[in-house]
């Protein structure tokens, strides 16, 4: 599934929850299901610091695809991290650079991605894009 289809699928998943409590319960479930990243990656170098919660982001290149792993100490944030990974992980740098995570707005959780919300999610998206840009430049230099 490409990025666009993945975002649409997430929006469809959330459309069945009209109650906020169910929505957050689902997010918490997604957070609980997310594979924890290896402890050796939970280092300051991978830490995206927010005042409210912390996010660790680790990346590697497999062929032409950028693979991300991430985790947060807050479960709701972890649930949102899981969704962002579905959208952005396993894509080419160009696909990542071309995409905006509009699904967060559509599922009614926009407040978590506003620049004033210091939970690290906004910074995580920015970091993902920076990695994509860096890998794209490395690839073009090799050519």
Partner 1 sequence: MDFNYQDIRKDFPILDQQVNKRPWVYFDNAATTQRPLPVVEKIREFSLQTNANIHRGTHAHAIRTTEAYENARDIVRDFLHAKEREEIIFTHGTTESINLVARSFCEKFLSEGDEIIVTEMEHHANIVPWQMACERHHASLKVLPFADNGTLKTELLESLISDRTKILAVAHVSNTLGTVNPIKEIIRIAHSHNIPVLVDGAQSAPHTTIDVQDLDCDFFAFSGHKIYGPTGIGVLYGKRSWLDAMPPFLGGGEMIDRVTFEKTTYNELPHKFEAGTPHYVGAIAMGSAIQYIENIGIDKIASYEHQLLNYATDQMKALKNLKIFGESPEKTGVICFQLDQIHPFDLGTLLDQLGIAVRTGRLCADPVMDHFGVTAMTRASFTFYNTIEEIDSFVAALKRIRLMF
Q: How far is CA 128 from CA 51, 60, 81, in A?
A: 20, 11, 12
Does position 11 bind partner 1 by CB under 8 A? no
Q: Which is nearer to partner 1, 59 or 119 (CB)?
A: 119
In the set 44, 51, 62, 142, the catalytic residue is 51
| By the rule CB under 8 A, 17 interacts with partner 1 | no
Query: Would you count residue 123 as binding partner 1 (CB under 8 A)?
Result: no
- With CB under 8 A as the contact rule, the residue among 16, 45, 51, 140 that binds partner 1 is 51
Tell me: does residue 25 bind partner 1 (CB under 8 A).
yes
Dist CA 81 CA 77 (whole Å): 6
Q: How far, in Å, CA of 89 to CA of 32, rounded?
A: 19
Q: Helices 3-15 and 20-33: crossing angle, nearest 10°?
A: 130
Minimal distance, residue 50 CB to partner 1, in Å: 8
SS3 call for 30: helix
Asked about 120 being catalytic, the answer comes back as: no
Residue 77, C-beta contacts closer than 8 angstroms, at least 6 positions apart: 31, 53, 55, 112, 119, 120, 121
Does position 122 interact with partner 1 (CB under 8 A)? The reply is: no
> Which one, 73 or 100, has the nearer CB to partner 1?
73
Which residues are identified as catalytic?
51
Instruction: Give the binding site for partner 1 (CB under 8 A).
Output: 20-21, 24-25, 28, 51-54, 73-77, 112, 118-119
């Amino acid at each position: 599934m490409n990025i666009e289809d993945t975002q649409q699928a997430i929006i469809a998943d959330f459309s069945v929850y009209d109650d906020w409590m169910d929505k957050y319960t689902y997010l918490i479930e997604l957070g609980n299901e997310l594979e924890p990243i290896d402890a050796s990656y939970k280092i300051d170098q991978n830490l995206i610091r927010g005042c409210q919660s912390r996010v660790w982001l680790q990346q590697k290149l497999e062929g032409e695809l950028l693979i991300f792993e991430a985790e947060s100490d807050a479960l709701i944030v972890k649930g949102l991290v899981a969704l962002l990974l579905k959208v952005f992980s396993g894509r080419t740098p160009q696909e990542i650079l071309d995409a905006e995570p509009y699904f967060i707005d559509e599922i009614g959780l926009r407040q978590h991605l506003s620049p004033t919300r210091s939970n690290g999610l906004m910074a995580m998206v920015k970091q993902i894009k920076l990695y994509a840009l860096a890998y794209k430049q490395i690839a073009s230099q090799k050519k």
